[in-house]
Chains A and B, each alone.
Chain A
Amino acid sequence: MNEEQDLKLVDDSLHGDQKAFGKIVDKYQRPIFNVALRILNNVNEAQDIAQEVFIKAYNNLPNFNHKYKLFSWLYRIAINESLNLQQSRRRGEALNEGMISGDGTPEDILNNNESSEMINIAIGRLNQDYQTVIILKHLQGFSYNQIGEILGIPEKTVKSRLFTARQQLKDILIKQL
């Protein structure tokens, strides 16, 4: 992530350059959409959340604190919006339990077309703190430090949550199998 470039785009947007904000959307729409998708496990909802994230970001550009990185700010908005939506509906209703079936090792699941959805469902069963660290670490590839910046928590807490999340996720998957 080119932080200087991001700040320039923010400044240009604040000066009425809509194209600059379009570049921000270009740059971050894919990861933002995927974060929402992994949390919500619903493409349409993720699409709506992604759109909402950028609109909110645009409207609140003057409040953007340069202490943070733009991507951290956008991710935080996306996670909060997604978790809020997730909380507003009953998590279990959106899950299609019937799709989880059959025997197999993790390796089998890895090679299965349905493995991604199974993982998403398993992630959905974690509590929200663990969900986010798993998603940010494994599905977005952020470091402990970056995760801490996005979530506003110490790196030590990130590690602790991540270790616990992995253990719980493993247990959920094994239980599903």
Chain B
Amino acid sequence: MITEKQIELIHREIDKLNSAEESRAFQEMLSVNPEVKELYDELHTLSGMLNSVQPVEPSPNLKKLVLNSIDAGRYASPAQSSFLSLFKPSLSNSHTPINPQEGFMKSKLVISGVLVAVIAVVYMSFIYPWPATNDVTGTIGGVKKYNSQQISDRDVQLNEHALTDGAQADPEVVMAFWKSQPLSMRETFAKDVNASLTKDANASLTKDANASLTKDANASLTKDANASVAKGEPITMQKGEPVTMQKGEPVTMQKGEPITMQKGEPITMQKGEGNTIQKGEPITMQKGEGNTIQKTTELAMAIAFWNTASIAQKQEFYKTFNDLQKGEGNTIQKGEGNTFQKGEGNTIQKGEANTIQKGEGNTIQKTAGNEVQKTAGNEVQKTADHDQQ
């Protein structure tokens, strides 16, 4: 029976780890214990066999294969690797152990940076209120460089169809008609007109804008934009801040937040909400909701008011517009059915069927069928058939 201690002594003797004294004691043990001796001889022989195995030379190409397989540029010079050192534990200070606190701070910095980036990506992807795709498409069409005049009153044409009649009327008459209305009434009407503009514009945007998008905008993009801009690709505008468009290629506006257009070339606006149009050149507004329309002139308001009036009102106003009131020394020409009131010294020419009331000293010339009423001292010249009352 071989003890654990004897087994260890055998192995230590094979490995030449026993001291001289231990070796002597082990040799004495071998001489008196054949079982130990047998095990030792076997293990010693085995050890000799193992130790005799000669190493084999690797292929002479091994080094070449290795060096050809590694990325030679993986590690840069110290100056170049200073930034990378933030991300990798550097061995450049290999003889001085890396300060654990320093490593922690570097890791903390990197982790913080990555965390911020991840939060930003998540926020922009899932939280930030990007507009829906169908809400953000629009077109700035027909981009051509040209010098146009600044906007005039008539450049902004809103709900034009409703104003056509008034626009064709004599502006002087329309304006006079407007001003003849009481101030309170005009204010109320202006308020209503603005409200209707907001509403009507939206209505037309819903309909007209889509129509023009389908046909006009795309058509102009195909022709004008591409003509002036070489193969311009659609441009996406973000955060519609004041934009000066130069060589604008077809533009798709996103995030139609309040936009102030400056130096705009012909622009088709889509989805503009709360757009303020300043100094715009001819603009077609589409889908504008809550647009603030400036330069809604008094003339436009007067025209709008004119269009709301009845035909009888307009005729009465025309009649009144032609009436002479309190005129002294007026000369009436081509008047038909005119009524002279309190006129003194008026001269009526070519008038037919005029009625002269309370006139004193009026001279009626070349007039046939004029009626002179209650008038004392009126002089009728060269008139044969005047009725004298």
Contacts and interface: CB of A to CB of B under 8 A. Distances in A.
Contacts of A162: 11
Contacts of B77: 15-16
A166 B47 contact: yes
A126 to B, nearest CB: 12
A7 interface: yes
A156 to B, nearest CB: 11
Contacts of B76: 16
Contacts of B172: none
B382 interface: no
Contact of B63 (A11, A22, A46): A22
A109 interface: yes
Interface string B169-182: 00000000000000
A16 B75 contact: yes
Interface in B44-74: 45-59, 62-63, 65-67, 69-74
Given A15-B75, A21-B67, A51-B65, A119 B50 contact: yes
| Interface hub of B15, B54, B63, B71 (most chain A Cβ within 10 A) | B63
A139 interface: yes
Contact of A109 (B49, B63, B75): B49
Contacts of A16: 73, 75-77
A50 B62 contact: yes
B58 A7 contact: no
Overall SS of chain A's interface: helix
A7 B94 CA distance: 7
A14 B75 contact: yes
Contacts of A37: 56
A153 interface: no
B133 interface: no
B46 A51 contact: no
Interface stretch (B84-92, B139-147, B229-237, B264-272): B84-92
A128 to B, nearest CB: 17
Contacts of B47: 138, 166
A75 B293 CA distance: 81
Nearest to B80: A16
A26 B58 contact: no
Given A138-B51, A170-B46, A14 B66 contact: no
B170 to A, nearest CB: 89
Nearest to B47: A138
Given A138-B51, A169-B46, A51 B94 contact: no
A51 B92 contact: no
Interface string B9-22: 00100110000000
Interface in A12-49: 13-16, 18, 21-22, 25-26, 29-31, 33-34, 37-38, 43, 46-47
A16 B75 CA distance: 5
A62 B94 CA distance: 10
A66 B46 CA distance: 36
A59 interface: yes
B5 interface: no
A25 B56 contact: no
Contacts of A94: none
Given A16-B75, A119-B49, A163-B7, A50 B43 contact: no
Contacts of A62: 88-91
A157 interface: no
Contacts of A18: 67, 70, 72
Contact of A25 (B7, B67, B81): B67
Contacts of A46: 58
Contacts of B49: 106, 109-110, 115, 119, 173
Contacts of A167: 43
Contacts of B160: none
Nearest to A32: B58
Given A58-B74, A61-B75, A62-B89, A170 B42 contact: yes
A162 to B, nearest CB: 7
Contacts of B91: 10-11, 14, 61-62, 64, 66
Interface of B: 7-8, 11, 14-15, 42-43, 45-59, 62-63, 65-67, 69-78, 81, 88-92, 94-95, 97
Please provide the 7 A-B residue pairs with the shortest distance between their CB atoms, ordered closest to farther.
A138-B50, A33-B58, A106-B45, A54-B66, A62-B88, A58-B70, A25-B63
Given A16-B75, A21-B70, A25-B62, 4 more contacts: A15-B78, A51-B62, A64-B91, A159-B11
